[in-house]
Every structure is written in C-alpha cells, then in structure tokens.
Chains A and B, each alone.
Chain A
Amino acid sequence: MSLTTDAIVKQFPSVKHIHDAFDSKKLSVFELTQSFLKSASESRHNAYITLCPELALEQARAAQVILEKEKKVPREKLPLLGIPLGIKDLIHRQGVRTTCASKVLENYIPPFSATAVSRLESAGAIVLGKLNLDEFGMGGSNENSAFGPVIHPTHPDRVPGGSSGGSACAVRASLCFGALGTDTGGSVRLPASYCGIVGLKPTYGRVSRYGLTAFASSLDQIGPMSRTVEDAALMLDVLSGHDPLDSTSDLRGATQARIALSREINWSATRIGVPKEYFVEGLSAEVQSSIEKSLQWFESRGAKLVPVSLPLTPYVISVYYLIAVSEASSNLARFDGVRYGVRPLAADHVKDLREFYTQVRGRFGAEVKRRIILGTFALSSGYADDYYRLACQVRRKMTEDLQQAFRSVDFIASPVAPTTAYRLGEKSQDPLQMYLNDIYTIPANLAGLPALSIPCGQDRDGLPIGLQLMAPHFQEEPLLAVGHALEQWQKGESFHAS
C-alpha cells in the first residue's frame, strides 16, 4: 500500500475511520506514519519547523505492538492509538527542540514534555514533528516566523492565518491527521478558518498550559485543530482535565465531548445570540452571507436567533493588545541567553552584561520586539494606571457583558474574521490592520470562554470561510455538539454543490 496522505484522508476522514481501517487491517500504523512523514518532508508549505521521524516511527512500532496484541484498537483506553499528529512549536515535546519560531531559541531542547503532549502520547498518538507559527504566537498570518512564512494549503499566494498557521496548513494539506495549536487572541480559530478546518479554543483552564511557552498567560489556551468536529472532541477529551502542574488549570475532570456528539440536540430550546455590533462595516459581504446562511439553517432546525448587544466591542482590540503585550513583555524576559538558547560565545568578546543582553535579545523578530516595547511601556510606573490597569478593568466589564448575554442565549455566533485569507505581504507592513482582524476572536480569550471555528462556506476564489460559535464557560460539550450538527449539514451542502 502506498497511498498518498491526501488519498488516505479522503477515504478515512476521521479518527474513527482510521481506527476501523486499523481493525480491518486496511491500514497499518507504521505505513500510515511513514506516509505522513513522507508528505510532510516533501511538502513545500513550510508547515513544519522540525520533523521527528525517529520518534514517530518508534511510537508507530509501539502502537503496532499494542494493536497486534489487542487485535482491535482499544478505543476507550487509547482513543488516539496510531494517529499521527503535529504539535505547534510553542509546546514542548521532551528531547525535541522547541524553537517558538524564534532565532532566540533555535537550539533549545526542552527537558520536559507539555502535559498536553504527554496526554496525547499516553492516548496512543504519534508525534510527527513541530509546526511553524508566528514567533512566540505573535501574529495573525504566520509571516512572523524566523523559519519563513507558511504557505496557504490551497492558495499559495495567500497567508494561512496565524499564529497556528503551520498547524492549520498541515491538517488541511494532509501533512498530519490533527494538530495542537494555541490561541491567545484567535491563533487557533483564525488559521482554522482561513484553511478550512476545525479549531477549538477551550475554556481558559480546561487544558493545562504546563509546557506551553507563554505569550500572554491569562489568555493562552492550547486547542485541538482537526479535520472534523468529532476529532476535535476526541482530542479535547484526551487533553482536558485538571493538571496539578498548572495553578490556573480547572479542577474539573476530562470532558466527555465525543459521547456528547451522539446525543440528540433539543433545537427548539436552543437560543443563538447574534451580536449587532459584529455585523458592521469592514465585514466582507461574502463572509456575511455565508454566516447568515448558517444562521438560517440553525433557525430552520428550530433554534431561536436572539439579537444581543456587546457595547464594548469597539474597545476589544485596545484592551486585548494592552494586556497581551504587557504580559508578553514579562513572559519573554527569561530569554536572556544565560541558561539556554542562543548566546554569544567567549570569542565574541562581549564587553559587559548590557551588550550580552543586546546580542541575545536583538535576535527577536520585529513584531516580538514591538510587543515587548509596547508592553514594557504599558506597565511602567506613571503609565500602568492609564494602560495596563485600565485595560484590566475594561476586560472585567467585557466579561460581565458576555456573561450577561449568556443568561439569555446558549451560544453566540459570529464570523471568525472579517475577510477570508489575504495575500502574503498584504498587511504585514500595517500592524494595526492586522490587529483589527482579531476583533471577533479576542472576546473569548478576554472572557476565558470556549469558542469553535468551523468551515461554513467559501468565497468566490474558493477560499474557506469560518463560523465562530462561542459558549459559556466549560460548555464545550454542547458547543461541539451543535458544531458537529452544522458540519454534517455543511458536508451535505458541499456534496450537493460538487
């Protein structure tokens, strides 16, 4: 058997199908892993920063042994057995370098694995390698990588979105079966939307951040990126649950999202909020009409569409960027070259400590430098009250507004981004334009809410459009259930269209 991974995912589009194929011996774990390694290494998308074939093949062999012994995939115990995954290169796998797409860390090999990665591996998953991103997760187009931009999986002149651009591209281009992304202001959902895959940002505290390089600690969450909502649910069930190594990790146990998908949805009791502030100038007409089509479908099932108001929406970008850059300026202070990372050698004759720091930290990319400087300013004495602390106050108010809205609705629907994937270089000279792109995704991070990005159509160029569904804290199960239903309808639509 030497199928291309494109052919494999077409024939076996979800984990369930792959496992069926393992059971019936239509696929072998080892060959599946080899196929993915092959397409990943031959791909021109620049989705991977580091491939780890030795690790992956070793894990595949181990999975093979289990499979031979058990005859069938033990789906309860090892729900991801033999599934080849990619990991955003901001999350540690012990012994494999974590670069964060930065020149500062290009040689850093972490001595420990992230809890999220350990959990995937304990569930039988295979780690193919580390995926490209915007440096330290800072960016929305994946153009800010010291290892070069990621190419859009279907439209090479476009950006894949960021910062988890490598993850989204790799899933869509069949360079891995699923991936881990991280989402601070939309970094899972935006690239998922641009590349036409599913991306979930879980509730803050749902998935342990231990082993995730921090960008903005109060906003960061690891989330699954996958071909189907069902696979995202499966991955979340593995990733979630309390981790004593992360003090902000919620005490709840793991989710049971995959089982929740099979439950009947009570549509007539489902209320979907539509914020009036979200459908305004700047939103592309094609995106708007796609979203409206999905909303109409919800209505046709019996759901009620409820207009809601989020009056602080105009301040979302300012509040987010003040808080994110402030935390980032502190989080990135540890990259000083003293204990790890790239550092000057004795031969460089560094004159003093200041020059040492300058040489090390001078290696940050322009966007990272910009954010460190902004964050340092926003926290400085004399300015912190007007910037950082004021932003924190408005953030609390925004969270209250959203919680208030969720008293009358079960979900809030919106576009993921105002437009579809733009051209490489189109916005990279204008950071503000780039920042404005995050308006729909940021509120979920500020309020710590779960939010799902699902494909809901295409524009006239064939570029994917994503719908975002936001839910109250820890309501991932119903969120994924509704997303799953929408996905089933979408698949029917595209089947009819083609």
Chain B
Amino acid sequence: MHPEFEAVIGLEVHCQLSTQTKIFCACPARAPSGVSVADLVSNAHTCPVCAGHPGALPVLNRKVVEFAILAGLATHCQIRRKSVFARKNYFYPDLPKGYQISQFDLPICEGGFLEIQTSSGRKRITLQRIHMEEDAGKNIHMPGYSLVNLNRAGVPLIEIVSAPDMKTPEEAGAYLRALHAIVTYLEICDGNMQEGNFRCDANVSVMPKGSKTLGTRAEIKNVNSFRFVEKAIEYEIARQIEVIQSGQKVLQETRTFDAQKGVTLSMRSKEEAQDYRYFPDPDLIPVQIQESWIDELRGILPELPEQKKSRYVQSWGLTQYDADILTSSKSLAQFFEKVMERLGKSKESVNTLAKLASNWISGELIRLVNESGQDLAMSRVLPEHLADLVELVHQKTISHTGAKRVLAVIWEAGGTVSEVVEREGLRQVSDASALDPIIDKIIEMHPQQVQEFKSGKEKLLGFFVGQAMKETSGKGNPSLLGDLFKKKLLGD
C-alpha cells in the first residue's frame, strides 16, 4: 500500500441460517437434499405470509433465535434479554411486503470479537452487532419483462457487523475466513458462497497515515468469495488513494465488484440513498430471552476453531500454521481428528504421526479435493485410509512416492490401503539379504564410480541408490540401500 495512507475496513456479513423452515412461516427454507435451489420450481416454497398477502402475520421461528444466540456466544457477544424486530421500508418487486423485517436499534447480539491470524501476527477484531432478519426474493429479468421468485423470501439471515478494525485486504480476508469457519462449525449456515448463503459487504475508506479523522467510505456490495473480497478491497484502496492524490474527493457511495475486470464500479451515490423509515414491527412482540436458555445453548456450543487450534498445538505438537490449515473447515478438522483417533493407539510417536498426517492432509489430500472440486466428506478416501497410509510411511513400509500412488488409487476407485499396496506391489524391500545381490551387481557394473566414491566423492551415494531403486523397480527402501552401499564400499 501507499506509504502515506492507511485504510480502514469494516465488513457486514449476511449469513443464511440453515433452519428447516423460514423465519416467519412454515415454508421450507431450503431445497430438499439433493436438489439445488436453482432447480426448485419458482414460488413453490411460498405461502400467504412470505408472499406478503394482506392479513397474513409473521410468527417467529424459535430456531432462528437459537442460531443467532449461538453465533453471538461463539463470538463473545452480549446477548440482549429483550430484542426487537423493526421494519425496514422500501419498495422493490422482490420484497413482498414493501418492508423487510429486520432488527434496528435493539439487535439480539452486541459487542463481541473475533481473533484473526495474518502474516503480521494475531489481531482481535471487534464485532458491533449481530441481528436477525428475513431474506428477500429474487427478480429475474427477461427481455421486455421481469419475473419474481419468492422461494428465498423469508429465509432467515443473520447480519454480522464488524467494527472498522481492519487495515489490509489480508486482514479482511482472514476475518471473513474466521467468521466462515465459526458459522460452519456451529452448523448454523452451510457457508456456500457461490449461492450467496454467506455474503459480504465491505466498507472501505482511506486516510493519511496517523490521521484521527476517517475518510469518506464507499460500500462494496455482495462480494461472494474470499479472494474477491481481498481483491475488491485492494482495488478500492488504490482507487481512493488515487482520487485523493489527484486532488479530488472520495464520494460516499455504494459500489459493486466486477470480478472479471477486477474493478469496483459505482452503483448509487449517497444522494440516491434510501430512507428506510425503521420502526418497531407491531406484528411481532419483543423477543424475550431467558438466562436459562442462554446457559443451555452455551452448554451445546461445539469446539470452535480457536479452541481446536490450541488443542492441536498442545497435544500433538503441531505448528500454528499446520493447525490453522487443519481447522479452516469443520470437515477437515473432523477428518484429521478421526485419523488421529486411529493412529493414537501407538502413543510413543504420536507427535511424529500427527505431523505426518497433517502434511498428508494439507498437502496431497487437499490437492486432490481442490483439483476435483469434490467435497472431502463425499470422497472415497476415508480417515482410516489416511491413518493406515501414514502408519506405513512412518514404518517405511512404503515410500513417499508409493504412498502418493496409494492415495491416488483410493481417491479414484476406493479400496483399502493394504489391498492397494499389495496389488500395486508397493511394499518396500527392507530385507538386507534380498538387496545384497542387487548391490553387488551394481558395484560390479560401475567400477569407475566405485573408485571415485572411495576416494571421497560422497555425492555418488545417491547415484548408487538410484541405480538400485531402478533395479528394484522402486521397491527398495532407499535409506536402507544407502546404509548397505556405505557398508560394502567403505566398510563401516
């Protein structure tokens, strides 16, 4: 970034809650399993309440409150004992009642924080509030006319608002990832960003370094991937600095991010901003929350990323970096923990095994997952496979290359580790007597190299081992081979 300026970034995250039914009626909030939201018949999931018929009244879904409280507890927020739903009034065809039921001055959660980890260390980001609200429907624009699909209208959301505590795109990305991990760990949101189930608005401003006065901010709307958020903010910071340096003023406005061009574009300025005329919704009574309910929910909070991370470091000696990767999603962490459960029986070398397991998961396994675009939970590679694999690698029964091959085979076609090792003949030859004739043969074939090695050119050991590997078609145990060569040629 420009040395004379600093950026101020705050994020508003909309998180679709994965309740069975909508926030104020009994309509399904999600497509049935196996069906994509996009394939659902338009307006199939609607009723007089979520379609905004006259006389229909909202009745609050208790599960939504429960999920919002869980989000609040996981982010160290205060839970309001009495919170109030308010109407946010504006006209748009995808908004059936002409107002969105949201929360305004009395949101359910206030004043929490989140820990993030970036290249410059750990940092605490303050959360201003979390509130509950309903989603709107979707307009579909056709040539000459538009259609409205209200399946999404009334699906519950929580909006999580951070303080303007972040200074770099990297911090914003880290915050967003940390928040994503929390809501998916809590299983209150599926975290699907492509479908907009976890989406983010970024407020960005810049000011001269050390200044106490915040610059004019722009709001970048609905960015739907971690990488795009970072890119959009990076672009926006540079743009605002350029505006200021050219002697102009940054305008308060709403902008969108064009992911293809990597730029932000103006949507509407402050003058065009809406007056939402918030007031308490008279159709709903205040949400009163009993202390005992909060205690009950605190009791069912799952282990969260931060707690998992420190447990991994403490009990398995993993590095902070490794622990970060393994806890970045609940499914990955669960996978790792199941691997460790199976390996845990051999207590003495548990730290080494953990490091090996971590390397294989965050290296080879994640590569396979990313390349295929498949979900880890749906893959043929099960935690027990990885545990067995790690065990064999650790015992040097199979080589690194062999292990990669085993993983690839199971990923494609399934099977157990021992089956694949046997079928593919990947077991390393670790029997000195079996290797002896091969070593003798190679010494015989390369007298010159033997001479050089004996006179001090130690690098040639690799050459001998390589030749032996070739001879055993990769099955020889390389470190054993090295030892045997040294013994034979140098006599120690």
Contacts and interface: CB of A to CB of B under 8 A. Distances in A.
Given A330-B89, A336-B98, A346-B145, A379 B59 contact: no
Does more than half of chain A's interface fall in helix, strand or loop, or is it mixed? loop
Contacts of B55: 91-92, 98, 110, 112, 114, 209-214
Contact of B91 (A211, A218, A327, A336): A336
Given A248-B283, A338-B148, A381-B275, A330 B99 contact: yes
Interface of A: 91-92, 98, 100, 105, 108, 110-112, 114, 209-214, 216-218, 244-248, 326-327, 329-330, 332-336, 338-340, 346, 353, 357, 376, 379-381, 384, 388
A498 B275 CA distance: 62
A357 B91 contact: yes
B384 to A, nearest CB: 49
A383 B215 CA distance: 28
A357 B279 CA distance: 23
A111 B48 contact: yes
A244 B98 CA distance: 24
B97 A333 contact: yes
B416 to A, nearest CB: 54
A247 B59 contact: yes
Range for the number of chain B residues in contact with chain A: 20 to 34
B253 to A, nearest CB: 18
B284 interface: yes
Contact of B93 (A105, A108, A338): A338
Nearest to B281: A217
A388 B277 CA distance: 10
A333 B282 contact: no
A87 to B, nearest CB: 12
B275 A380 contact: yes
Contacts of A112: 48, 53, 55-56
Ranked nearest first, the 4 interchain pairs of A and B with the lowest CB-CB distance are A333-B98, A218-B282, A217-B282, A379-B277
Given A111-B53, A214-B55, A336 B89 contact: no
B87 interface: yes
A388 B48 contact: no
Nearest to A216: B282
Given A330-B98, A334-B53, A338-B93, 11 more contacts: A110-B53, A114-B55, A211-B55, A211-B56, A248-B284, A330-B279, A333-B91, A339-B150, A357-B91, A380-B277, A388-B279
Given A333-B91, A376-B277, A379-B277, A209 B57 contact: yes
A83 B278 CA distance: 44
6 contacts: A213-B54, A330-B98, A336-B93, A338-B93, A381-B277, A388-B279
B478 interface: no
Contact of B57 (A91, A216, A247, A334): A247
Interface string B15-46: 00000000000000000000000000000000
Contact of A100 (B54, B59, B98): B54
B277 A247 contact: no
Contacts of A218: 282
B59 A245 contact: yes
B98 A334 contact: yes
Contacts of B150: 339
Contacts of A248: 282-285
A446 B227 CA distance: 53
A346 B146 CA distance: 12
B285 A247 contact: yes
A285 B66 CA distance: 60
Given A248-B285, A380-B275, A339 B57 contact: no
Given A247-B57, A248-B282, A384-B277, A353 B93 contact: yes
B196 interface: no
Contacts of A381: 275, 277
B52 interface: yes
Contact of A330 (B56, B57, B60, B277): B277
A371 to B, nearest CB: 15
B350 to A, nearest CB: 55
Interface in B402-445: none
Contact of B87 (A246, A330, A336, A340): A330
Interface in B245-299: 275, 277, 279, 282-285
B59 A244 contact: yes
**Most A-side CB within 10 Å, residue of B51, B98, B277:** B277
B94 to A, nearest CB: 9
Given A98-B54, A210-B57, A334 B96 contact: yes
B466 interface: no
B89 A384 contact: no
Contacts of A327: 279, 282
Contacts of B285: 247-248
B46 to A, nearest CB: 9
B54 A246 contact: no
B317 interface: no
A218 B280 CA distance: 10
Contacts of B482: none
Contacts of B282: 216-218, 248, 327
